[in-house]
Amino acid sequence: MLAGPYATMMLADLGAEVTKIEPPDGEISRQVSDAYFASLNRGKGSVRLDLTAPEGQRQLGELVANADALLVNLKPSAIRRLGLTYESLRDTNNKIVCVAITGYGLYGGDDPAFDYVIQAATGVAALTGEPDGPPTLPGYSSADNSTGLTAALGLLAQIVSGRGGQIDVSLRDVMFSQLNYHASAYLNGGVAPVRRHSGAHSYYVPAQMFATAEGHLALFITHDGFWRSFATEAGIEGYERMADRAEHRDEVVAVVSSVLGTDTAANWEKRLRPLGVPAAAVRSLPEALERNPDVVVDSGGFRTIRCPVGVAGYQPDYRCAPGLEDVRP
């Protein structure tokens, strides 16, 4: 519903000709809302095929014969049963790149693998939230979106190689990969990650959310230069070295919290940004979009978020997503 459509929408934005294959009754995400479908399928063509029937397989073969790649987002057993692997299609087109997006790998079984389930299974949810509260999840589909981008990267890399082949991308592997430094600390030093108050970073101090006189501020001090600039503006003395701040984490956080409480999040952002200090007031999505109207584009009557990849001299054609009534059977 999301990972595969997002991957192929990114490719369509970048100039690929993308044909979406839907079942006879249409893809299931059409049932969520028109706006949801538009946010993941702009710029694509679409056909409705019954891949369980001989005629549908014949039509699939016609598409495959002239395609650079086939990206599939289904259960592993369905991918193999419907003949949507490189092994099944190489005789039709040995240059085609076949990408399988699954929960646990093309040969990893059919266990349910939706975004939230994967976040729970890989340790992401356990790292999110307050230390004395329950595990929680980010407010968007981070596993699906990340997997979609990874799949698009794998597809392009294989096309650049000039060889056909099978690309296997799983939500599980992508989320483990995104836990990179947490996993390395545990695997190489036995240091298990823990949830910290206000989303504090494991290594950098102060790098977390802080309450202010009004609203919350994200402050991210990653090196001593940032600290000097911040401390001078905030009137804080000491803790000049990163190691000192890490060793005295609780003291530093307490001092910073006290100072930040003397002004609003919006004002702190205005004061710190000109100094090059990474800081931002926490905003709602509507507030953020109002401040960043340049990220919004029109795609056939739906307002969506533009492609995040800017290519010099190229402007994406933000065409509408195909309506089901426009999709030929």
CA distances from 137 to 120, 195, 203, 262, 270 (A): 9, 13, 22, 31, 30
Q: CA–CA separation, 210 vs 220, rounded Å?
A: 11
Query: Which pTM was predicted?
Result: 0.93
Start-to-end C-alpha separation, the chain = 20
Q: What is the DSSP letter of 176?
A: H
Q: CA–CA separation, 106 vs 233, rounded Å?
A: 54
Residue 115 known to be catalytic: no
Supply 58's token pair.
């014949």
The predicted pLDDT at position 323 comes to: 87
Residues 75, 111 contacting (CB under 8 angstroms): no
pLDDT tens, residue order, the chain (329 aa): 899 999 999 999 999 999 999 999 999 999 999 999 999 999 999 999 999 999 999 999 999 999 999 999 999 999 999 999 999 999 999 999 999 999 999 999 999 899 999 999 999 999 999 999 999 999 999 999 999 999 999 999 999 999 999 999 999 999 999 999 999 999 999 999 999 999 999 999 999 999 999 999 999 999 999 999 999 999 999 999 999 999 999 999 999 999 999 999 999 999 999 999 999 999 999 999 999 999 999 999 999 999 999 999 999 999 999 988 766 65
Q: Give the active site residue among 25, 34, 115, 144.
A: 144
Q: Is 71 helix (H, G, I), strand (E, B) or coil?
A: strand
The predicted pLDDT at position 60 comes to: 97
Q: Dmax over Cα atoms in the chain, in whole Å? A: 75
Residues 24, 31 contacting (CB under 8 angstroms): no
Identity of the residue numbered 149: L
**Structural domains of the chain, with CATH:** 3-180+316-326 (3.40.50.10540), 197-282 (3.30.1540.10)
The predicted pLDDT at position 324 comes to: 81
Ramachandran category for residue 42: left, alpha or beta (phi over 0 → left; psi -120 to 50 → alpha): beta
Q: What is the DSSP letter of 168?
A: E
The predicted pLDDT at position 328 comes to: 63
